[in-house]
Amino acid sequence: MKSIQFTHSYNKLGSAFYSGDKPKSVSNPQLFIFNQELQKELNLHGTVLNFEDGMPYFSGNKLIENSSPLAMAYSGHQFGGFSPQLGDGRAILLGSLFDSSNFEYDLQLKGSGRTSYSRGGDGRSALGPVLREYIVSEAMAKLGVPTTRALAAVTTGDMVAREGMIPGGIITRTSRSFVRVGTFQYFSSRNDLASIKKLADYVIARNFPEIDNDKSKYRSFLREVIKRQAYLISKWMGLGFIHGVMNTDNMSICGETIDYGPCAFMDEFNFNKKFSFIDENGRYAYSNQPHIALWNLTRFAESILSLLSNDQKNAIKIAEDELNVFPELYEKYWLEEMRKKLGFEVSTLQNKEEKKIIDELLNIMAESKADFTQTFYSLSNLKNSQSNGDDTLVRFFTNSKKIENWLADWRLSINKSEYDEDSRIASMKQVNPVVIPRNHQVEKVIRAAEDNNDFEPFFELNTILQSPYKFDQNKVKYMLAPKDSEVVQRTFCGT
Ligand code: AMP
Ligand code: MG
């Protein structure tokens, strides 16, 4: 069997960065899913990390040879309030490796027991959140959104105390780096300038090698982190995705979606939609996500001020100049995404009319509480000239006059373009998915597994989401919005 070639680059940063915690054993682990496709991408085929031999490692009962487990230290603003001492309270970094494209990635267990940073927590994870993270993170990858990935998941055989006793689970996930905004805040709140520099140099070399030789490389670093976040949030917005806990400890520096707690995709369009039951004031509601991203990025910029200039005033000026670009940059990415979704030819210059048509559609969708995913998917199927097919879209709107008028404007606009109908439709279908992991479906999967030890709904939903942009008959039932009785009333944080 091929041995696993860990690099342990994070350990080399020194003990200020982590605590050497190990996974704790569980009583009766069962490996119920293993991501074979990801195994290949990660260059792990031929190693013990496979479906037959992986269980002891994915449960934390046995350590992979050459691994060097640790829990990462970090801080974070949670719902706006700063906690100087967070850190991996239930996750263990086993080490980092190189994938088949020679990119470094981290391998982490989540739910593997208490660490030095667990505070009052049990270090465990309930099965439900493990299933949600597996389903949604893999769906995001297939939808083309930067994300952490899921390699495997086990049930532990032990119960965890939440609202009642619930079966426990552990997910093995990977990331291009688990460093967060909160990791930088950890050192800046301790005024440990040397560690901030060490961390920045580490992340730049690993995740932003293209700027490593820039004259003002820390400024470039800030600029690139801002850019990746602007892009990421535009992707979320284009899919109706609501992260739910955009705390600074849940914002990845390398620009991936991380920590699938109370996240969900919205069904009925609502600018202010939120799912998380703990997000009382809607801080992390759908339309607030770009603003929160900028708020978090501002915390990031503050934490690296010492790298931007020796003169604090000057450093603040640099940070402000970079942060000021975010709204425009985000708008650019968002427009690009929305123009694709509406079938406007992105290679041509956008005209004012298009922005108006996009905004108008969102407004009437909100008014009609139209289903987000089905509206865009149905739109992708419409012809250049008015046809019977229009009904498939119009039925999502309570005010048919308004959507019909809108369709007339939309057609006027697309008919001006050089785009032929087939190319337009094909291009729209690349960004308007047939299926997304709807919250009520995810909830059904969780209920079946947690309550009846039935994993069939999980496997089925996971399979369906492997090709979210391709229509086939098996998907029809997953395309539907929830019936009133199926709407999930409360979505909890992923603990
Ligand atoms: P989250 O909201 O899931 O991003 O978690 C915020 C912080 O709380 C992180 O430091 C987690 O590691 C920690 N945490 C969450 N749940 C638990 C738990 N059950 N046991 C220990 N620590 C936890
Ligand atoms: Mg977190």
Q: So what's the pLDDT on residue 158? A: 98
- 249: annotated active-site residue: yes
In a domain, residue 401? The reply is yes
Boundary residue ending a domain (152, 179, 206)? 179
Pocket test for ligand 1, best of 82, 86, 277, 278 (most atoms within 8 A of CB): 86
How many domains is the chain built from?
Answer: 2
Within 240-311, residue ranges assigned H as helices are 289-303, 305-308
In a domain, residue 208? The reply is no
DSSP track, 374-436: HHHHHHHT--SS--TTHHHHHTT-S-HHHHHHHHHHHHHHHHHSS--HHHHHHHHHTTS-S--
Q: How far is the CA of 250 from the centre of ligand 2 (A)?
A: 5
Out of 106, 249, 267, 371, pick the active-site residue. Answer: 249
Q: So what's the pLDDT on residue 495? A: 65
In a domain, residue 261? The reply is no
Residues of the chain with pLDDT under 50: none
Q: So what's the pLDDT on residue 72? A: 98
Q: So what's the pLDDT on residue 494? A: 53
State the Rg of the chain over Cα: 23
Report if pTM > 0.95. Answer: yes
Q: Are 382 and 390 in contact (CB under 8 A)?
A: yes
Give the domain range for residue 355. Answer: 344-418
Q: How far is the CA of 457 from the centre of ligand 1 (A)?
A: 27
Within 145-258, residue ranges assigned H as helices are 181-188, 193-207, 217-239
Q: Are 118 and 89 in contact (CB under 8 A)?
A: yes
Position 287, amino acid: S
Q: So what's the pLDDT on residue 226? A: 99
Boundary residue ending a domain (393, 418, 443)? 418
Tell me how far apart the alpha carbons of residues 290 and 287 are, in angstroms, rounded to a whole number: 7
In a domain, residue 220? The reply is no
Q: Compute CA distances 385 → 308, 380, 417, whole Å.
A: 55, 13, 14
In a domain, residue 393? The reply is yes
Contacts of 364 (CB under 8 A, 6+ apart): 370, 397, 399, 402, 403, 406
- Tokens 């041995």 belong to 3
Q: So what's the pLDDT on residue 372? A: 98
Q: So what's the pLDDT on residue 299? A: 98
In a domain, residue 372? The reply is yes
In a domain, residue 109? The reply is yes
Ligand 1 binding residues, C-beta < 6 A: 86-90, 117-118, 121-124, 245, 249-250, 259, 261, 493-495
Per-residue pLDDT tens digits for 242-272:
999 999 999 999 999 999 999 999 999 999 9
Helix (H, G, I), strand (E, B), or coil: what is residue 92? strand
- In this structure, the residue with its CA closest to atom 17 of ligand 1 is 121
Tell me how far apart the alpha carbons of residues 89 and 238 are, in angstroms, rounded to a whole number: 32
Best CA proximity match to 480, nearest among 448, 440, 446: 440
In a domain, residue 287? The reply is no
Q: So what's the pLDDT on residue 313? A: 98
Tell me how far apart the alpha carbons of residues 311 and 373 are, in angstroms, rounded to a whole number: 49
The burial of 100, by beta-carbon neighbours within 10 Å (0-12 exposed, 13-18 middle, 19 or more buried), is given as: exposed
Tell me how far apart the alpha carbons of residues 230 and 370 are, in angstroms, rounded to a whole number: 26
User: Which residues are paired to 153 by β-bridges?
Assistant: 33, 171
- In this structure, the residue with its CA closest to atom 7 of ligand 1 is 86
Boundary residue ending a domain (400, 418, 436)? 418
